[in-house]
């Protein structure tokens, strides 16, 4: 599976090992997105278990949109393999949210393709984040710079 939407965590090293099995692999570039500390507390120990994030998605469309992004990417760059893993459900601060890994013969294609995938994923894959901090919760707002990043391609 090149595109996976799952509740459980993932292991970067495991994905890289899969990609390097392809004899054409000369480079692997990976990106991981984490849950940032959205609370007013800066010390990790003070971030209690009442601070967490919930990620909702649109089952069916999510997978389709990620596969469409993968296909667009393959039309633009000569890459060997692509892995996209995105989590949903309850996540805590510092948890891994998303992994994009791309392998290619040479590094340039893998670097470009990896950045392209995460830029498109941010605006086209139907995920929504809600932050909970104690008794307060709110849906994360659209970041306009994400749209600019996508349009630069």
Question: Residue 118, interface with another protein (CB under 8 A)?
Answer: yes
Q: Give the shortest CB-114-to-another protein separation in angstroms.
A: 13
Asked if 124 is part of the footprint of another protein (rule: CB under 8 A), the reply reads yes
Q: If DSSP states are collapsed to H, E and C, what string results for 53-109?
A: EEEEECCCHHHHHHHHHHHHHHHHCCCCEEEEEEECEEEECCCEEEEEEEEECCHHH
- The site string for another protein over 78-117 (x = CB under 8 A, - otherwise) reads --------x----------xx-------------------
Q: How far is the CB of 88 from another protein (least distance, A)?
A: 9
Q: Which CB, 11 or 140, lies closer to another protein?
A: 140
Distances (CA, A) of 56 to 4, 44, 48, 61, 71: 15, 25, 22, 12, 24
CA atoms of 33 and 86, how far apart (whole Å): 9
Interface with another protein (CB under 8 A), residue from 95, 106, 143, 148: 143
User: Whole-number minimum distance, CB 11 to another protein, in Å?
Assistant: 19
Beta-bridge partner residues of 29 = 102
Partnered with residue 5 across adjacent β-strands are 86
Evaluate whether 56 touches 131 at the Cβ level (below 8 Å): no
CB of 64 to another protein, least distance (A): 5
How many residues belong to the site for another protein (CB under 8 A)?
Answer: 29
Footprint of another protein on 1-60 (CB under 8 A): 33, 55-58, 60
Strand order in the sheet with 89-92: 89-92, 51-57, 127-133, 136-139
Q: Please report, as ranges, the residues that interact with another protein according to CB under 8 A.
A: 33, 55-58, 60-61, 64-65, 86, 97-98, 118, 121-130, 139-143, 146
């Amino acid at each position: 599976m090149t595109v996976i939407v799952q509740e459980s965590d993932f292991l970067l090293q495991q994905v890289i090992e899969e990609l390097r099995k392809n004899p054409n692999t000369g480079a692997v570039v990976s990106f991981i997105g984490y849950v940032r500390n959205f609370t007013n507390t800066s010390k990790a120990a003070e971030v209690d278990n009442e601070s967490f994030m919930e990620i909702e998605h649109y089952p069916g469309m999510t997978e389709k949109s990620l596969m469409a992004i993968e296909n667009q990417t393959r039309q633009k760059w000569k890459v060997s393999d692509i892995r996209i893993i995105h989590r949903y459900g309850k996540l805590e601060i510092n948890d891994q949210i998303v992994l994009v890994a791309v392998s290619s013969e040479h590094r340039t294609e893998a670097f470009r393709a990896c950045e392209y995938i995460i830029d498109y994923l941010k605006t086209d894959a139907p995920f929504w984040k809600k932050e909970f901090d104690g008794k307060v919760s709110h849906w994360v707002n659209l970041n306009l710079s994400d749209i600019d990043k996508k349009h630069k391609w």
